[in-house]
Amino acid sequence: MKLFIRVDASTQIGTGHVMRCLALAQAWQDAGGQVIFVMATEAPGLKTRLNAEGMEVIHLPIQIGSAEDAEETAKLAHQFNANWVVVDGYHFDAKYQEIIKQSELKLLFIDDYGHAKEYHADIVLNQNIHACEGLYRNRQPYTKLLLGTSYSLLRREFWQWRGWQRSLPLIAKNLLVTLGGADSDNVTLKVIQGLQQVEIEELEAVVVVGGSNPHYEQLRLAIQESRFPIHLKRNVTDMPDLMSWADVAVTAGGSTCWELAFMGLPSVMLILADNQRAIAEKLEAMGVVVNLGWHENVSAVEIASAVAQLLITDGRREKMTRCSQELLDGQGSSRVLSYLKDNFFQLRSVQQDDCWLLWEWSNAPEVRAVSFSSKSILWENHVQWFKSKLTNPNCIFYIAINNNNVPIGQIRYDIENYEATVSMSIAPKFRNQGYGTSLIKLACKQLFSDSDITRINAYIKPNNQASIKAFYKAGFQSKVVTTLQEHQAILLIIDKYKFG
């Protein structure tokens, strides 16, 4: 099981996209899968973190979100035999998704505010509290929506904190400042300056910055002049510990707010990007945060006042903790993973009970149109044919089923000497979703592994472009144009020693 993640991080982009993808990647790893990250930006600190997690990172020096980006991403995903491609970032539009899907790959698109004009992904994930179906009216019929905080992606280090209860001191003294991994406008410095005006005895603060923050040295000098202890930390991996230590946080409206909510940490929020506005306003309306608004319109004095008021008001902090922990339970990564795994499938041998199902699939108008015999198949004839295939030792017949035991297609091999002729079809509701190529690859791998077959042949009518494309992507190559049952046919072949 291979998860292919296309995401970027920089001073302008921030690190939140990568960090939430890391949460999904960790869940995938725990399920026994392999993860490959592909990034167009240079982010050494994040690469080190991902490598330490046992994940491969590929640098793709290309214009982010371009058609070439999508094509190269799809090519790499096929090279790695990826089960799913995950795309996260505002540069990736409808055309990007379309190119990925035309490559017959399964696509999960992580979104925040419906920025694409149209959605072609198999799954669109928006973990934000304001997420709604109205943002995705222009989507494909097969596109599934995972919306809301129940799908919030929390990294592995948070999972052990499920069910943890926060203690609430009468006067809060421990303060956490975390404004994202980049903070290009250096709002963190303004917060530090504001905190100097908070007159609470024994106040202590931890300021967390990411590896993409370009202002580290300036912040380091600023905390040296503080009248109370401020600890500056970079690229931390113990955020849950820091959030459990803190009584109050100053934060932005990015993905960190879901981590803070999970930990029940009362927060003062600043809006650092336009896409954070809806989140901040909704969380304030629910009593989860104190929203100070757009960072440029907030003074250091106003930050100090809001923080001081929250530090001394234990009743308000208690309500904020209760409201925030009701938002999410920390199972979001597992829920998303279950949808991805639902699209995995395995092969089982055809059984007698499959007779009717296969007859229905075979008689579908779109199947008959590309078959060498376009006439409808009579039930009596099908039953006789089906029995002959079940009892024929030279016929290997599989049904592909997903994790819920739902049949998604069939593939059959008729064997003669050391060669096999393949026939394949996908169930109507699973068509045009990239299952064809995956089914061909899986079944060919199993056939070559379990038998002495050295070559597999596929005869396809020239007008059946979907099947031709699926077999090409599975590694088959054109051999000749021939005739089969008085119809022109393209013969595609794959050799055992060239497979995979």
Residue 438 pLDDT grade (very low, low, confident, very high; cuts 50, 70, 90): confident
Name the token pair of 488.
């022109």
CB 12 within 8 A of CB 182: yes
Check whether residue 320 and residue 192 sit in a common domain. yes
The answer for residues whose C-beta is within 8 angstroms of residue 325's C-beta and 6 or more apart is 261, 262, 264
Q: Do 193 and 143 share a domain, yes or no?
A: no
Q: Which of 11-20, 121-130, 287-296 has the lowest mean pLDDT?
A: 11-20
Task: Give the chain's mean pLDDT.
Answer: 92
pLDDT band at 342 (very low <50, low <70, confident <90, very high): low
Chosen domain end from 129, 151, 173: 151
With CA atoms as reference, report the closest residue to 184 among 255, 267, 253, 272: 272
**For position 387, which CATH number holds?**
3.40.630.30
Instruction: Determine the Cα–Cα distance for residues 19 and 173; give it in Å rounded to an integer.
Output: 29
What is the pairing mode between strands 174-178 and 248-252? parallel
pLDDT at 339: 85
Give the HSE-up count for residue 419: Cα atoms under 13 Å, Cβ half-sphere. 7
How high is the pLDDT of residue 243? 97
* Half-sphere CA count of 449, side-chain side, radius 13 A: 7
Q: Is the pLDDT of residue 57 over 90?
A: yes
Answer whether residue 452 is part of any domain: yes
87 occurs within a structural domain: yes
Q: Is the pLDDT of residue 208 over 80?
A: yes
Predicted pLDDT of residue 213: 81
Please check whether residue 170 lies inside any domain of the structure: yes
pLDDT at 79 over 80: yes
Domain containing residue 207: CATH number:
3.40.50.2000
- The Cβ of residue 385 has, within 10 Å, a number of other Cβ atoms equal to 15
CATH number at residue 133: 3.40.50.11190
Together in a domain, 287 and 356:
no
Is the same domain home to 366 and 389?
yes
Residues 220 and 313 in one domain: yes
Backbone dihedral angles phi then psi of residue 266, each to the nearest 5 degrees: -60, 135
Confidence of residue 59 (pLDDT cuts 50, 70, 90): very high
What's the CA gap between 21 and 247, in Å, rounded? 28
What's the average model confidence in pLDDT over 332-346? 84
**How far is 329 from 14, CA to CA, in rounded Å?**
26
Residue 463 pLDDT > 90: no
Residues 119, 56 within the same domain: yes
163-189: pLDDT as tens digits: 899 999 999 999 999 998 778 899 999
User: Do residues 147 and 169 both lie within one domain?
Assistant: no
Q: Check residue 500 and give its pLDDT.
A: 59
231 inside domain: yes
Q: Kindly state whether residue 159 falls inside one of the protein's structural domains.
A: no
Query: Span 140-166, mean pLDDT?
Result: 93
Q: What predicted TM-score, i.e. pTM, was given to this entire model?
A: 0.74
Same domain, residue pair 129 and 182: no
Residue 73 placed within a domain: yes
Return d(Cα 69, Cα 410) in angstroms, integer: 34
* CB neighbourhood size of 352 (10 A): 8
352: its two tokens? 């007698």
- What is the distance between the terminal CA atoms of the chain, rounded to a whole angstrom? 15
On whether both 306 and 358 belong to a single domain, the answer is no
99 plus 179 within the same structural domain = no
- 55 and 141 in a single domain? The answer is yes
List, in sequence order, every residue forming a beta bridge with 46; answer none if it has no partner: none
Looking at 292, 325, 358, the residue that finishes a domain is 325
Q: Are 476 and 439 in contact (CB under 8 A)?
A: no
Residue 334 lies in a domain: no
Q: Which pLDDT tens digit goes with each residue over 352-399?
A: 999 999 999 999 888 888 888 888 999 999 999 999 999 999 999 999
pLDDT digits (tens, 9 = 90+) for 224-252: 989 999 999 988 889 999 999 999 999 99
146 shares a domain with 171: no
Percentage of the residues of the chain whose pLDDT score is greater than 90: 73
Name the pLDDT band for 428 (thresholds 50, 70, 90).
confident
Q: Which domain holds residue 69?
A: 2-151
Q: How many domains does the chain have?
A: 3
Let me know if residue 339 belongs to a domain. no
Other residues' Cβ atoms within 10 Å of the Cβ of residue 26:
22
